[in-house]
Amino acid sequence: MRFSEDAQELLERLWLAAEDGSEQLAVTDPISESMDELSRSGLVIQNGLFWKLTDSGHPEAAQAIRRHRLGERLLADVLKAEDVSLDEQACRLEHVLFDGLDESICTLLGHPQFCPHGKPIPPGDCCRQMRESVGRLIAPLSELEEGQGGEVAYIQMSDAGRLQKLIAMGVLPGGKISLQRRSPSFVFECGYSQFAVDEEIAADVYVRLTQTSEVG
């Protein structure tokens, strides 16, 4: 369902309010056209002096915040945008991620579960289909045997600092990676360099295995 850009922004604000535990926004006087648009569509309801999402509004708000956070991931991981401009640029980008383009971006990025700031990205149909179909074709770096490798499928990490550390190492979706040693730390090769990380970080890097590197 398509809504105006202002209405999409309000859906995001209501989603963020729910994440923060308040689940509602104060009613403004007069009511904005965008809020009236959402109300007429049955996505929000007035609860006293506040607005809150209806049951049908939650999935629409999830899609709005998903597009925004996928935009942040694209800007941070692929286009190398500065952190200070991520939110503003992602706001512009999210409004064009419709008609399956958001799923294409999600697949390109390896179905990330967190935005660059550590906030969860609501999964889409492509994420659920990927998890059902790939099975053990994808495994955490921490579960690989020495000498196994493939391509980085995605990074499942909520800690922004650790994520930036991996990005600085060149660990990006689609990049080649192989495990060289498991102990005392996990040593992997990425590009032409080797790096050592602890098990917690290695467990968050998911590798799309080559046919000769399947984990049993």
CATH at residue 94: 1.10.10.10
H-state helical runs in 23-85: 33-40, 57-73
**Quick one: 195 and 166 in the same domain?**
yes
pLDDT tens string 168-181: 899 988 899 999 99
Q: Return the minimum-mean-pLDDT range out of 55-59, 64-68, 71-75, 97-101.
A: 97-101
pLDDT tens string 123-152: 998 888 776 655 457 788 998 999 999 999
**Quick one: 4 and 82 in the same domain?**
yes
- Percentages helix, strand, coil for the chain (3-state, rounded to 5) are 45, 20, 35
For residues 1 and 100, the model is more confident at: 100
Domain-embedded: residue 128 = no
- Residue 150 lies in domain: 135-213
**Quick one: 103 and 192 in the same domain?**
no
pLDDT of residue 79: 67
Domain boundary pick from 97, 123, 149: 123
**Quick one: 87 and 169 in the same domain?**
no
Q: What's the domain count of the chain? A: 2
Confidence class for position 197, pLDDT limits 50, 70, 90? very high
The residue among 130, 125, 141, 134 whose CA lies nearest residue 181 is 141
Long-range CB pairs of 20-27 (<8 Å, 24+ gap) are 23/52, 23/53, 24/50, 24/51, 24/52, 25/50, 25/51, 25/52, 26/50, 26/51, 27/51
**Quick one: 95 and 180 in the same domain?**
no
**Quick one: 11 and 115 in the same domain?**
yes
**Quick one: 42 and 109 in the same domain?**
yes
Confidence class for position 64, pLDDT limits 50, 70, 90? very high
For residues 137 and 103, the model is more confident at: 103
d(CA 7, CA 63): 13
**Quick one: 79 and 185 in the same domain?**
no
Domain-embedded: residue 130 = no
**Quick one: 119 and 168 in the same domain?**
no
Domain-embedded: residue 202 = yes
**Quick one: 6 and 105 in the same domain?**
yes
**Quick one: 104 and 147 in the same domain?**
no
CB 194 within 8 A of CB 183: no
Percent of the chain with pLDDT over 70: 87
The residue among 123, 97, 11 whose CA lies nearest residue 56 is 11
Which stretch, 21-30, 105-114, 129-138, 186-195, has highest mean pLDDT? 186-195
**Quick one: 53 and 115 in the same domain?**
yes
| This prediction's pTM | 0.62
Domain boundary pick from 103, 123, 143: 123
